[in-house]
């Protein structure tokens, strides 16, 4: 698959998603970029903004196996990963896989479970395998986690551990829709669309597992010149040097930013990454990887403000 074909497939993915989701073009584009890069995405927004519907629709149009995990305070790691069950007939233990063994995983309201349960996904997200009682089980080659969370100030939420949140390629903020888009949602509902039944959206499958694997290989082949790689390094290192930040982005963040910038270039139909691709993907790739000083947050600033200022300060390679 060449870049032109990959761009066409990505455009078809976005077009099909638009049948189920009104507006939110930036959110959908960032989701598709994360998916094509083979990473995991954390979607943050208030309840009712369509986060779950977006993930279900993406799994449907990409031909991926889908499982949903509803995170609650009493959820156990074995409920996610699976468990060995003793078979009395054979006298042996048999592994019963959990919902993590699918292509696309929806971790719904992930920050409503305690850290021990949240961290059950760590090995699968990082190494694409799960170890149960000393035995390693590989997950799907297409494995991608899309986790949704409510803003941390909501009641009954737990902050994600830094090690957990760093495994997400991007953190995507899902805002309220614009007024005309919200009106469009009502129009679709009135015309018969039911968010609980994707069949009412008449979604068409764009990919199969082999096609997705080829698409991801094409994304990895996108050229990133040395000057752009040095620019990414400078952006990430600057997050550790500015006074507003107590914890900057890690070297892993630079790799993640490079990967998602490659996918963003494919969405634009280019076979090379530009500094503008890096600037476009820096907020979703870095906002969850830096911690601001408490006094900066009290003043009403957030990570996106900080990223915007440092991008404005760093010279762009020409």
Structure tokens at 88: 């009395």
Task: Judge if pTM exceeds 0.85.
Answer: yes
Helix (H, G, I), strand (E, B) or coil at 136: strand
Mean pLDDT of 129-141: 89
Domain 1-221 in CATH: superfamily? Answer: P-loop containing nucleotide triphosphate hydrolases (3.40.50.300)
The topology under which CATH files domain 222-318 is Helicase, Ruva Protein; domain 3 (1.10.8)
Residue 152: pLDDT over 70: no
Distance of CA 63 to the CA centre of its chain: 17
pLDDT for 58? 94
Render pLDDT for 203-235 as a digit per residue (tens, 0 to 9): 899 998 899 999 999 999 999 999 999 999 999
Q: What is the mean pLDDT of residues 29-37?
A: 95
Q: What is the mean pLDDT of residues 59-87?
A: 90
Is pLDDT of 201 > 90?
Answer: no
N- to C-terminal Cα separation, the chain:
29
Report, as an integer, the average pLDDT of 232-246.
Answer: 91
Collect all residues with Cβ–Cβ distance below 8 Å to 73 and sequence separation of at least 6.
112, 113, 114, 156
pLDDT above 70 covers a percentage of the chain that reads 98
Span(s) in the chain for CATH 3.40.50.300: 1-221
Tokens of 119: 């961290």
User: What pLDDT is recorded for position 262?
Assistant: 97
Tell the residue number behind the tokens 């737990």, with chain if given. Answer: 158
Give the DSSP letter of residue 223: B
Q: Which part of the chain has CATH 1.10.8.80?
A: 222-318
Alpha-carbon span 177 to 51, nearest angstrom: 12
Q: What is the pLDDT of residue 156?
A: 63
d(CA 161, CA 152) in angstroms, rounded, equals 12
C-alpha count within 13 angstroms, C-beta hemisphere, residue 159: 7
**Cβ distance 13 to 61 under 8 Å?**
yes
CB 103 within 8 A of CB 216: no
Alpha-carbon span 315 to 275, nearest angstrom:
10
| Helix (H) or strand (E) segment spanning residue 70 | strand 66-70
Taking each helix axis from N to C terminus, what angle separates 25-36 and 3-20, rounded to the nearest 10 degrees? 130
Within its chain, how far is the Cα of 266 from the centroid?
17
């Amino acid at each position: 698959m060449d870049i032109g074909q990959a761009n066409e497939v990505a455009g078809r993915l976005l077009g099909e998603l638009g049948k189920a989701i009104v507006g939110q073009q930036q959110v959908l584009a960032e989701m598709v970029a994360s998916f094509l890069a083979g990473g995991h995405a954390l979607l943050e927004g208030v309840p009712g903004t369509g986060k779950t519907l977006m993930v279900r629709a993406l799994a449907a149009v990409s031909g991926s196996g889908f499982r949903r995990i509803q995170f609650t305070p009493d959820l156990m790691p074995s409920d996610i990963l699976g468990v060995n069950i003793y078979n009395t007939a054979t006298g042996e233990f048999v592994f019963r896989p959990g919902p993590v063994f699918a292509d696309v995983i929806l971790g719904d309201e992930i920050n409503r479970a305690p850290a021990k349960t949240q961290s059950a996904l760590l090995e699968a997200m990082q190494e694409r395998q799960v170890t149960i009682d000393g035995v390693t089980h590989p997950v799907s080659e297409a494995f991608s986690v899309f986790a949704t969370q409510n803003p941390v100030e909501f009641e009954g939420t737990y902050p994600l551990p830094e090690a957990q949140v760093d495994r997400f390629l991007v953190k995507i903020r899902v805002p309220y829709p614009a007024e005309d888009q919200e009106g469009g949602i009502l129009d679709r509902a009135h015309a018969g669309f039911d968010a609980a039944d994707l069949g009412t959206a008449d979604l068409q499958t764009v990919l199969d597992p082999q096609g997705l694997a080829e698409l991801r290989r094409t994304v990895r082949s996108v050229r990133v010149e040395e000057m752009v790689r040095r620019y990414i390094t400078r952006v990430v290192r600057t997050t550790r040097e500015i006074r507003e930040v107590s914890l900057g982005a890690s070297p892993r963040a630079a790799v993640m930013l490079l990967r998602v910038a490659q996918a963003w270039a494919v969405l634009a139909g280019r076979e090379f990454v530009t500094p503008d691709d890096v600037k476009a993907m820096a907020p979703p790739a870095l906002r969850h990887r830096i911690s601001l000083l408490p006094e900066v947050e009290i003043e009403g600033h957030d990570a996106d403000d900080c990223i915007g200022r440092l991008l404005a300060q760093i010279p762009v390679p020409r």
